[in-house]
Structure 1
Amino acid sequence: MSDPLLEVRDLHVHFNTYEGRHEVLNGVDLTVEEGETVALVGETGCGKSVTGKTIMGTLPRPPGEVVSGEVRYRGTDLLADQSVHDRVQREQMSMIFQDPMTYLSPVFTIESMMRDVVKYHDRERVSWRELIGGFLGRDGKENEEIREQSVELLRRLQIPDPEGILDRYPVELSGGMRQRVLIAMALINQPEFLIADEPTTALDVTVQDQILKLLKERIDNQNLTMLYITHNLGVARQIADKIYVMYAGSIAESGPTETLFDAPLHPYTRGLLDSIPKLTGFDSEGIDGSIPNYTDPPSGCRFHPRCPAYIEGVCEQANPEQYSVGEGHETACYLYENEPNTSNAKVIAEAKISYERPKHLELGPDGGGDGRGD
């Protein structure tokens, strides 16, 4: 069996701030096979974007610090050599970032930014003479071809008047239009591996559907491999072959998409799925509490202060390892520590997990829990 395209092993990332040291990623493990689409899902603030930026090599340092772990791309540890990481990023990776106005320059037109991405994406250095020559239009024929390519891609992304959009600045566009421009810039060079960080959050449902279809087309026709970061479980189910559920910087559960939806095992995964509004009614269970404070995270399993299946004296002692509970299906929960690999996982989960409010989550006078992990 060949090595996976991407393998993240025991990744720990901390941030040094005035508030203290934030221990954000707490031993992340994930694998992406070539040609596969993997979704990384979880609540806002659980570390999904930090994981993506660390893989991409765009983690701000400082304040970010990779404490330990590996990010292996085709077997090479990118964290061991920054020059190799930079080269792989330029030549084979691309990322759709979450905030367009942070990653689009306010002083350049859309066309000039897309042109530079095409011409210089695989270059380590670009001379001022080349940049000035391009700005003055000395590469007329090449620039014309890039413009035609850009117009076609913007049209595929449901942008009206793509020719006119190329001559505008980001500030002249709506948030949804800027997001689609960012997607176009990530796709224009046909990358081998794409990290998509909440790429459709700011878009209308109809446009979102068109963009997901475009991504699927690229995956099928160009063997694109993608890590799709989202909090939308519906989108994850639609686009992903495999799902990793993240909570507070750790992977709580992972498995094939349909398996995860049909037989969710980790209490957090089940809570997420129960939070989805149903057509049959508006009642949803939800999950009590909130993401923990990363400067003083809970000991052991970081979910235990909110967990309806909390085992006193066990869950707070040590972070659980990933237990195999089926073919390609793993969960980091002590409920399954002694369970054999089983195809009847859903029955086990329903028998073991009670959704009655545990004592350590009794509501206080302000409507919140007792504060552990908040």
Structure 2
Amino acid sequence: MKVLITGGAGFIGSAVIRHIIKNTQDSVINVDKLTYAGNLESLSEVSSSSRYAFEHVDICDRTRLEKAFFEHQPDAVMHLAAESHVDRSIDSPAAFIETNIIGTYTLLEVARAYWKSLDAQRHDTFRFHHVSTDEVYGDLEEGTGLFTETTAYAPSSPYSASKASSDHLVRAWQRTYGMPTLITNCSNNYGPYHYPEKLIPLMILNALSGKPLPVYGKGEQIRDWLYVDDHARALYKVIKGGQVGETYNIGGHNEKTNLEVVHTLCDLLEELAPATMRYHRLITFVTDRPGHDQRYAIDASKIERELGWAPQESFESGIRKTVMWYLDNLEWCQRIQERPPHQLHQRLGISA
């Protein structure tokens, strides 16, 4: 199988590509705009493979997308390209509307025209897999219930609203045009190669530099944490064996408050990279994010039951691997951090 992956230079996309090239005989076409969060270094261990190709293309550029489809002739699409940071969506929502909604629409239309042009056998086996987030479901009350595939959408931020919109587009293209689509909604990912504006890498790198560890509100927001390589395995199972028109929730069974996560990181750094000052003392509580959801939690029983997937990493094993990776790859982190400062860093009161 030849899979066209949008956003393949991003955090999750690069993990999927590494998984496919290293563990299967399938081929990958990586279509990526290379925004601030895209980094081809994340693919250095597989980029020399004859089964890997890269196209520097914005998913909003229909002409260049069409060219990529007809040159590479993919058997499936895995759509991961997205603006994904909630704080950025609050500061600058326009980019999220453009990429996550207009970009998804453009990709759907290009993929639909391509799919219709295929011969009968390839037409029947073609798949369009849209990768989304649990944030489209909104907020859960503490300690009650889980997000299922039938939970009503109630997005809270411009980011989650734009992802909810893209999910609705994908479902509409399946129902109206018969496109063979699948959707997955995942919980918070963590692991190697994560851009340092996200909670876990930000805390690790700030701690190592002796900078404040900014925690929103009281740090009581609860998230379900999923190791990125577990997510990559799940996505591959869905595109290979998922049922057309279905949605699959993917979660790590690891509910933690943000403050618990930060304390765990401090404990691991005390063990693995001890400093003269205790890292816990760097924790700084900052004004909470507008519209901040309190709790996300995924019911992943459907994908476990129907496709035989389950996470291999506990939070304890995955977070230790993550911290060790960052400690072993500080040069990669430094190159990322040396990019121009962003509004997000300035608003949180930290230097880039």
TM-score, normalized by length of structure 2? 0.29
More strand by share: 1
Q: Which protein has the larger Cα radius of gyration, Structure 1 or Structure 2?
A: 1
TM-score, normalized by length of structure 1? 0.28
More helix by share: 2
